[in-house]
Structure 1
């Protein structure tokens, strides 16, 4: 069984490497600066992670399972901010793995300015960048919200 798991892990590593090919990943400080210039940070972490670790103030919260529908400007289930394919979306997850896969999927949809944060939210915190701890985690965005 371990051999099967090891082979599958190698496949996941290849998938991740492929997703990161051509993806201009940002260090947390670069993502913070980009947000200051108008880029949108989108937090895909589930509620339990945001509750435990905190959030980035002003980040758009869209859990991973809805991301493509919420950010695709041609989709009827998009959020209002997703009104152009030219928006710079910076995807952040806990450690920077699923965000790479998500950013690559967004680029496949034609959102060519999508990228992610190296090291994810953990690296954001380690860099000393601002976080907030609301009494209740921010609710994920839905269509038209």
Structure 2
């Protein structure tokens, strides 16, 4: 099995567990919507930035943002640095769901610590952070 797949399988497991926890808490969001929500910056993001970060077309990002806005996950607000532009910002609902997601991630990481050991998990994390230096263009 190649390294990329070995990285993806645990991520997919984590993502499915997080989406399940969010759904169990009463939040309704699709995987595509959640992946876009993850990329909204703390101070908001422009649609083109979201599309690029999510690796989807601007039209797809616009469609997802429209859905998220109708469902109360995001709001479009004027960009204070450019009067012509708008920012996509997370709403209180998205921030509440984020708390649920973070708690589930903590549970998953604790399970992984128990399974492989804290030292190996720390090494894995350190290695992945180092790899992000050369693989994450949005860092």
Q: What TM bracket, shorter-length normalisation?
A: under 0.3
Structure with more helix by fraction: 2
TM-score, normalization by structure 2: 0.27
TM-score of the superposed pair, with normalisation by structure 1: 0.26
Query: Which is bigger in relative contact order (C-alpha 8 A, separation at least 6)?
Result: 1
- Give 1 or 2 for the bigger CA radius of gyration: 2
